[in-house]
Amino acid sequence: MIFSGLAEKLQSTLKKLSSKGKLNEKDVDSALREVKLALLEADVNYKVVKNLVNNIKERAVGHEVMESLTPGQQVVKIVNEELTKLMGGQQSEISISPEPPTLIMLVGLQGSGKTTTAGKLAKMFKNEGKNPLLVAGDIYRPAAIRQLQVLGERLEIPVFSMGDKQSPVDIIKAGLSKAESDGNDVVILDTAGRLHIDEEMMDELQDIKESTEPDEILLVVDSMTGQDAVNVSENFDKKLGVNGVVLTKLDGDARGGAALSVKAVTGKPIKYIGTGEKLDNFEAFHPDRMSNRILGMGDVLSLIEKAEQSIDKEKAKKLEERLKNNQFTFEDFLDQLEQLRDMGPLDEIMGMIPGMSGAKQLKNLQVDEKQLDHIEAIINSMTKEEKVEPKVINGSRRKRIAKGSGTSIQEVNRLLKQYRETKKMIKQFNGSKGKGLMGKMNLPF
């Protein structure tokens, strides 16, 4: 789960507070000390922590909270609102040019994930019905141009390149001309990074900015570098003037210091976050939703959006028809499993479901991605007949399936039981006529 360490500590502290019938200033001070320590351990900027805690205390010891019937819950509400405000308050969207193409320039240090982010961003725009063009402007890193071309081929998105002999300014100017002639309405420029900020790097980026006047300059930073990510953001903004930040590798950042500090320190909003290696693991940053996730309140809107992007509506319709006729098979089961995995890491998905988003619940759940690999191997070791009619799987067939999949008979038995239970569950969800979360989304659980 994103920010798992911070989330667990904050949720534990606030749970103790909300369980109290009455609160006094001493209770609030004690809880805020724990909140402060949790934030500092998460590598949040000290000044940011100090201001946040002061803001929470100022509101939490007021008449509205102390005289409330549910003072603990009021404090949790205040913490949620202040965290949301800290991260920007509301979603900050890309500036789209009224006259296409819109030029988006990606900048950042080497290794921050610029090239991959360029591909993810292009895919997102393509899914929204736009016609993006990727431009290879990194002429220094040998593999950068080829990496972008490979991404373009996978995504079926054109990539403009002039090799590594031309200047980045000439390349982007030619790329913009190409976009205008080919009808590309979004141009995403991948620029060169360095191992550290230097004058030569900044001069080159400033030349590109002045020559091409990008509509949006996005700084790509590795969230796992913590306070360094914030310092890099501050330096780039002073030298270049960025419009927003893209935080990458957020799935590996159990602390969350960068996400909670960037806006407050630099004044620049986080616009997108990278949450995994897959090209789909990329989403717009919503401060309110992220605050809900950190405090264990779930994030239903993001969950629905992920489901809509990942789940094949035609397959969902066919599955519904098959369920009506009691024809749910292991092939359907496997198909639903693959669609679920496309939505992202399972602990992230479960963390978005209200009631399942607490750190303790997720720990108890013990989501094991390897177990899903075993399930796929078991199903793929079945014959066509066994997938369609699991009732024929007797003792000898179970032995063969276990051997063929490299698993145990116990795992095969467990899957057969899970299949029967899942068949009943999905039948109930699809029979709900759209009522409830599962009915709305056709989630492949």
Give per-residue pLDDT as tens, 410-425. 999 988 887 787 667 6
pLDDT at 320: 65
- Position 100 scores a pLDDT of 87
What would the two tokens of residue 384 be?
Answer: 């066509």
Q: What is the pLDDT of residue 445?
A: 36
25-34, 152-161, 250-259, 381-390: least confidently modelled range: 250-259
| Radius of gyration of the CA atoms of the chain, in A | 25
- Is the pLDDT at 307 greater than 70, yes or no? no
Mean pLDDT over residues 41-46, rounded?
85
Sign of CA dihedral 115, 121, 127, 128: negative
Give the model's confidence band at 435: pLDDT under 50 very low, under 70 low, under 90 confident, else very high: very low
Q: What is the pLDDT of residue 349?
A: 65
Q: How confident is the prediction for the chain on average, in pLDDT?
A: 80
Cα four-point dihedral sign 37, 41, 47, 53: negative
Buried b (16+ CB within 10 A) or exposed e, 72-105: bebbbbbbbbbbbbbbbeeebebeeeeebbbbbb
Per-residue model confidence (pLDDT) at position 68: 61
The reply to whether omega before 71 is within 30° of 0 (cis) is no
pLDDT-derived band at 73, boundaries 50, 70, 90: confident
pLDDT of residue 147: 92
Identify the residue whose tokens are 């899903």: 372
173 has pLDDT over 60:
yes
The torsion region of residue 355 among left (phi > 0), alpha (psi -120 to 50) and beta comes to left
What pLDDT is stored for residue 400 in this prediction?
94
Strand ordering across the sheet containing 216-222: 159-160, 132-137, 186-191, 102-107, 216-222, 244-248, 270-274, 282-284
Q: Tell me which of 195-199, 202-206, 267-271, 402-406 is least confident.
A: 195-199
365-394 pLDDT tens trace:
445 567 778 888 999 999 988 988 888 999
Secondary structure letter of residue 98 according to DSSP: S
Range picked from 1-15, 50-64, 270-284, 329-343 for highest mean pLDDT: 270-284
Give the pLDDT score at 176.
92
Tell me the pLDDT tens digit for each residue of 240-293: 889 999 988 887 665 667 778 888 888 889 999 988 888 888 889 999 888 888
Query: What confidence score (pLDDT) does residue 200 get?
Result: 81
Place of tokens 């090799």: 163
pLDDT for the residue numbered 431 = 55
- pLDDT of the residue at 103: 94
- Determine contact, residues 260/86, Cβ cutoff 8 Å: yes
- pLDDT of res. 359: 46
The values of phi and psi at residue 48, to 5°, are: -65, -45
pLDDT of residue 130: 94
Inter-residue contact 269 to 92 (CB < 8 Å): yes
What number of helices (H) and strands (E) belong to the chain? Answer: 22, 8
Interatomic CA distance for residues 41 and 130, integer angstroms: 42
**Helix boundaries (H) for 343-408:** 346-351, 359-365, 369-380, 384-388, 395-405
Domains contained in the chain, CATH given: 4-86 (1.20.120.140), 102-301 (3.40.50.300), 310-441 (1.10.260.30)
**pLDDT at residue 441 is higher than 50:** no
pLDDT over threshold 50, residue 146: yes
* Strand boundaries in 91-249, DSSP class E: 102-107, 132-137, 159-160, 186-191, 216-222, 244-248
The 10s digit of each residue's pLDDT in 325-360 is 666 788 777 777 777 666 666 666 666 555 554 444
